Each structure stands twice: as structure tokens, then as C-alpha cells.
Structure 1
């Protein structure tokens, strides 16, 4: 029992920035869930996946964290379900962190993302991209991911249309070819991020840190770039037509 709890503790600690006592309580919940899953280990991975999907609809955040942890294990051990699980997790984020119209947002930057949403994003961000099928695209469009930690995330060619990523940490993230049209990246940390060929048309990058970022051939048409930090930013071939550098 304690080995399972310890493994869960380290896994969740890498995802969440919270105190150890809270993580321990979450891990005990995870262990309880995994004990139930353990009873179905003789079943097919498909059956385990079905059980996980049913439990993901549970309103308890601890159960959601347990299920997300188990889904990642299934994806790692059974590659045939890798993309199905990524689709499940992106759907989970879209349904539980939907885009909020700007007039209803009280503060863009001072927000704390829900822990199970962060956990799902962390699993998506660190997935084995070699298992991604060709011509498929992650869909995180129309989502509210303000303040998310996506450090070194692999979101290449991801659909992030009208996503709110204000104040998010996207340091060294791979966003090459990503669709970020109308996205809110106000105050986002994009230090050393790869945005080569990304579509940022009409995106709000006000106050964003683009130091060292690669924006080669990116589209910044009509993008808001006031007070953006562009030290050593690579802008060769970028489309800056009608970009706004001041209010």
C-alpha cells in the first residue's frame, strides 16, 4: 500500500504546486481509486479505460486527479490508446475550463487554475509525441487556461484558437505551427518558446515575454504587441502587418 502512495505522491507533486499534507490526502484518494482499478487488472486495457472514463465525470477533484494519473499510465503502457486518452483529456479541459468572455473576466493575470485541469494539461504537455498519429491535432480551443504551468510543453500544431493563456508559463514550450488566433497571451511567459509558423492573428500579446522566442514565419497580423519583451526574439519572415505596438 505505502509503495503505491509514495509513487502517487511523487507523480502528483510534479504536477501540483501545493503543500505536502494536501498532496498526501490526494494520494490516499488516488490509492483508494487504484485499489478498485486493481481488481480489474485481469480485464482488457479497454475495460480499464471504460472505468476511468466513467470515473472522470465524478465531481470530486481528488477522483479526477486519480483518474488522470491512471489514464497517463494506460497511455504509457498501451500505445494503442495513447491518442484516445489525449482526446479524452483535451475534452475534459474544454468542458471544465471553457472560455469566459472578456467582459466577465474580473482579472486576467491573478488567477489560479483548478488543480485537476492543471494535471490534465501536464499529462498532455509531457506525452510521448512519437505516439501521436499523423494529421491529428490536439484541440484546446475556447478554453480558460489562465495561469497554467506549461513549461517545456509540447503543443506543436495544437488548436488554441481563442484560448485564454494570460499569465501562463510557456517557457521553452514547443508551439510550432500552433493555431493561436484570437488567443489571449497577455503577460504570458514565452521565453525561448518555439512559435515558428504559429498563427497569432489578432492575438493579445500585451506585456508578454518573448525573449529568445522563435517567431520565424509566424503570423502576427493584427496582433496586439504593446509592451511586449522581444530581446533576442527571432522574427525573420514573420508577418507583422497591422500589428499594434501601442494602445
Structure 2
């Protein structure tokens, strides 16, 4: 009886050993498969990005719109490509918006924004900022974005130096710490916008709607605020030295 029990024990042990060995081999196969899958997926995504950049350079609006939509999906589903895609889009906007000086734009405050430019900016504005790397900054400087719709856009810390945003809709936009030096915001709607700590030195804010805007500790040195609506705006700590407030 004892012999039978011992033999049964060894048989079970052998079966268990074979089973565990099988599991280990299966696990290794799965791991290898996943590694290959992830690598193939990575290569596939890199190829998609390469093609996207090429297609964006063709300047065919319908194609650009489809590409921009695809890029947003990649950014949402693959966080490791989030910032790369934001840079692709900001570069696309900079390349395709001819900078217009404040003097040139005074006669025409708003302009029809190209559909693909608006689409790219919309994706940038509604991105998941939690995926932005620390100490990095979006660059939309020297761009002509007159009349663009950036309602509730998240553009905090964005470089908008000398950007032309005349007539733009920036209602409730987050522009905390944004660089808007020498930017043209004439006639822009900044109702309830958060401009805390923003740099607006020498910015053109003629006729801009800043009703209930937060300008706490913002720099408005040499800014032109003639005709701007400042009702109930938060201006505590703001630098208004040599700012033009009236004719």
C-alpha cells in the first residue's frame, strides 16, 4: 500500500513538473509574442507618423483634416507619442500661417481660418495636458491666427510671442503663464480667460473683451489697452507700467 502511495506521489510530482515546464514555455512564448507585437506596433506607429508628416506637407486640406484626426487618435491611445504629435501639429500651424504684423492687420482684424489650421489648433487646445512633459512648451510664436476659435483652449505656458490673434475667440481659455509679448489681440474675446502670470508686454489689446478675465500678476508693461473692456477683471499684482489705457 505504501509503495502504491509513493508511486502515486512521484507520478503526480512528475505531472506537476511537466505541467509547470509547459506553463513556463507557454509563458515565454506569450512574452516573446508580446515583445514582437509591441515592436511591430511601434514600427507601424512610427511609419504612420512619417506618412502623416509627408501628407501634411502636401497642403491638401481634405487630406490634412484626415491626418490630423488620425494623429489625435494616436496621441490619445499611445501616450509615448503625445508630445511628438503636439510638436508635429504646432510645426504644421507655424509653417502654414504667414505672420502679419500689427500694422498690416489693423485694417482687417479677422480673417477666415483655414479648416485644417483650425482643426490642428483644436486638437492642441483640447489635448490631455497631463501627458505634457515637464518644462516643455508649445511653440505657436509668429503665427497668424486671426479669427481662430480657441474657446476654452488649454494654452498655459504656450509661446505666443508676436502671434496675431486679432478677433480670436479665447473665451474661458487657459493662458496661465503664456508668452504673449508683442502679440496682436485686438478685438479678441478673452471673457473669463485665465491670464494669470501671462507676459503681455507691448501686446495690442485694443478693444479686447477682458470682462472677468484673470490678470493676476500678469505683465502688461507697454500694452495697448485702449477701448478694452476690463469690467470686473482681476488686476491685482498686474504690471501696468506705461500701459495705454485711454486715447
TM-score bracket relative to the smaller structure: 0.7 to 0.9
Helix, strand or coil: the match of 1:147? coil
The runs of at least 4 aligned residues of structure 1 exceeding 6 Å deviation read none
CA distance in 1 between counterparts of 2:71 and 2:165 reads 25
- Paired position in structure 1 for 2:20: none
- Paired position in structure 2 for 1:169: 169
Give the C-alpha shift of residue 171 in structure 1.
Answer: 0.3
Number of equivalences: 208
The structure in which a higher percent of residues are helix is 2
CA distance in 2 between counterparts of 1:227 and 1:167 reads 14
Based on CA coordinates, which of the two structures has the bigger radius of gyration? 2
- Paired position in structure 2 for 1:186: 186
> Any residues of structure 2 matched to 1:147-158 within 5 Å, and which?
147-158=147-158
CA distance in 2 between counterparts of 1:73 and 1:106 reads 38
Single out whichever of 157-166 and 44-53 deviates more from structure 2.
44-53
Q: Is the 8 A contact 1:141 1:162 kept in 2?
A: yes
- Paired position in structure 1 for 2:7: none
Give the C-alpha shift of residue 103 in structure 1.
Answer: 4.5
Q: Deviations over 1:173-193 (max 9, x none)?
A: 000000000000000000000
Q: Is the 8 A contact 2:142 2:160 kept in 1?
A: yes
CA distance in 1 between counterparts of 2:150 and 2:63 reads 22
- Paired position in structure 2 for 1:94: 94
Question: CA 1:212–1:102 in structure 2 vs 1: closer, same or farther (change >3 Å)?
Answer: closer
Q: Deviations over 1:45-101 (max 9, x none)?
A: 112111211111112110011111111011011110000000000000001003123
> Any residues of structure 2 matched to 1:21-170 within 5 Å, and which?
44-105=44-105, 107-170=107-170
CA distance in 2 between counterparts of 1:231 and 1:104 reads 29
Q: Deviations over 1:122-147 (max 9, x none)?
A: 00000000000000000000000000
Which TM-score applies when normalising by structure 1? Answer: 0.81
Q: What runs of 5+ residues in structure 1 fail to find an aligned partner?
A: 1-39
* Backbone CA RMSD of aligned residues: 1.6
CA distance in 1 between counterparts of 2:244 and 2:59 reads 43
Q: Is the 8 A contact 2:110 2:168 kept in 1?
A: no
Q: What runs of 5+ residues in structure 2 fail to find an aligned partner?
A: 1-39
Q: Deviations over 1:16-52 (max 9, x none)?
A: xxxxxxxxxxxxxxxxxxxxxxxx9896211211121
Q: Is the 8 A contact 1:108 1:167 kept in 2?
A: no
CA distance in 2 between counterparts of 1:208 and 1:132 reads 30
